[in-house]
Structure 1
């Protein structure tokens, strides 16, 4: 993080590298995937190239996100730069800055990260504003909120209508995440069945198994999970 704590102009960049354990895990998983795709077997080359292209795309995205990831804070608001996008939020549109625990990330270096919530209840992750890059994360956010109060023109006070929007969006987001998980599982199930068809010599149906089935699974799961989320009790 660049900038004095008593100034609003700050930049949060990645200065601490990924831990050796997580780096080794990433290389092992990626290397094993590439190795399996380069081994001679009965799987057609076009399917191997598809998998390798997906691995390469993920690797490029990870490198760009690491190199370009930046959170910039100034008198006008907060700017977030990711791998491909730059998003800005003015202070009068920002409702809150919240430190939240990162769920189900036992291998992650950062256990706590920071979200920006706007007046519509939407949230935006702030890159490098986490406990891996900032050991005293909560103190940093408390100080930032104090300094930014004058630029917002209002106090950091909870508003029931915005809290209701946050809870509503959180329920929808959880439903989308679970539906996406179901679609991914359907994709890999279809991939395994496709490989089995190729091995035994049956006629493969990649379009049906790898695209149609996951999309149908997502379309069926999403409204069901949203209905469940709408019936769940609200928590503040």
Structure 2
């Protein structure tokens, strides 16, 4: 384990319009918030886990899973609130409460149910050991992206008049949304998660899934038996 404190912050507000009660929704029989906490606890380089929430039920589940909680104020818990602001608030609360300085902070999303401890360790190591300022999980992506416009669809990452083979195209990498690591001082100064040199930590594209709507939740539940290394239990 690294000697420098590494704090994992899991934002988990109570309000969710797409999937009501999303952060407590079970996947593989275990609430999403609990799955994220377990992944953080399994990461060797993480020294503390804090859940930032405005919801009493989420806070209770987080504490039952062994995480600390920080009460998120209302102005950081609305639909337009930024994850970075929740992380900064939780970071300050943790440092004040424990009388420590945390040089590296993580943002781990419980809406990515298949994030692993190894991925969390990898983004941490990119910052604590490899000299990156920030790091995030990414997965190879080979699709042709299109965007609708007033004159019809047009290619985003390709010229629609040219259809090169996959092996002839530059590799694109998809941000998975699962785990991010940041130098705390840089996050405070920049106010966003992608300052300085950003390391890209490759992950298995088969495990990439973000839960934004009921269909995503259904897919996660269907995949849990295949993607969970061992059955999880509450």
TM range, normalised to the smaller chain? under 0.3
Structure with a larger share of its residues in helix: 1
Question: Structure 2 length as normaliser, TM-score?
Answer: 0.25
Q: Which structure has the greater CA radius of gyration?
A: 1
Q: Which has the higher contact order (CA 8 A, sep 6+)?
A: 2
